[in-house]
Amino acid sequence: MARCFVTRELPGDAIERLRAAHEVEVWGKRLPPSPDELRVHTRAAEGLLCLLTDRVDRELIHAAPDLRAISNYAVGSDNIDLHAAAERGIPVGITPDVLTEATADMAFALLLAAARRLVEADADARRGEWKTWEPARLLGQDVHGRRLGIVGYGRIGRAVARRASGFDMEILHSGRSGGVALETLLESCDFVSLHCPLTPATRGLIGEAQLRRMRPRAVLVNTARGPIVDTDALVRALSEGWIGAAAVDVIDPEPPPADHPLFDAPNLTVVPHIASATHAARERMANLAADNLLAGLAGRPLPAVATAD
């Protein structure tokens, strides 16, 4: 039996499956372990099942001499130093595919919420502002028949496009799979939805210059990773009216402090990184993460492995 550390309780029976084969310690607190705590609990581990909020850097990997497999409970791996893991011959698992549809649902839900000002309307109704029917109150943007730009046309980007087709939206896309130039997409689209992975090339991809290219009533949606967007630039874009609205599931930093300026920006819909938060999706993620760790500890190929660029 191998010693495993799991950095959070997981939905479903994934942890029980791990315990049937190995000795498993689970971090039982709601907040994640601090970097020092993570290092202490990983030091003697042979298997690590971590979350995207856990920074698994070179120092941590080198401080765990027995570590043989890492499984990340996330579609991406930007929280893990893949080069350091590769140098040690440690495979790193991820959980793609299983959260595609749930994330695409959330992206389109955010798009609709921002376009039709649903959060603002709900707040008005609860405050007693619903005094009469007013022709010019809470006017939003049409979604049907408008142009949607998708940045990153992989599994999730294509799933969003399928949903948009039901609204007769025209689709432009930009990314490694081709499509139009990013500048053309930003200038041409009424809605822009981000679905690219976080890499050195995409960090800060949407900054002041890109936001200024967008249409004055355009809506930016981000369900990918927070650092893809320059948060300070987004605050200015919303406050100064460069764009019409933004709807985000992820921001930088994450989690943000309660007094972060983004929360004071107008026309912003923000939710706390819950795009994959359905019972089915999160349980599928947990099962795949467990499968990855079990395979790695057994010396078998991982069902879904991350590779260093």
What pLDDT score was predicted for residue 285? 98
- Residue 300 catalytic? no
pLDDT along the chain (309 residues), means of 10: 97 97 97 96 98 97 98 96 97 96 98 97 94 93 98 97 98 93 98 96 97 98 98 98 98 95 96 97 98 98 91
Q: Which of 25, 170, 187, 254 is catalytic?
A: 254
Run of H or E residues at 25 = strand 23-26
- Residue 254 catalytic? yes
Cα angle 280, 113, 284; round to 5: 10
Strand 47-51, strand 23-26: pairing: unpaired
Cα gap 38→203, rounded to integer Å: 26
Q: Which residues contact 202 (CB under 8 A, 6 or more apart)?
A: 196, 225, 228
Under the phi-then-psi rule, with left for phi > 0, alpha for psi from -120 to 50, and beta for the rest, what region is 10? beta
111, two tokens = 């798009």
Candidates 79, 56, 111; CA nearest to 246 is 111
Q: Which of 146, 213, 273, 284 is catalytic?
A: 273
What pLDDT score was predicted for residue 177? 80
* Domains along the chain with CATH numbers: 3-98+279-306 (3.40.50.720), 100-270 (3.40.50.720)
Bridge partners (DSSP) listed for residue 42: none
What pLDDT score was predicted for residue 308? 80
| Residues 158, 159, 161, 166, Cα dihedral to 10° | 150
Q: Which of 225, 260, 279, 300 is catalytic?
A: 225
pTM, full prediction:
0.93
Coil, helix or strand at residue 193: strand
What pLDDT score was predicted for residue 90? 98
- Residue 120 catalytic? no
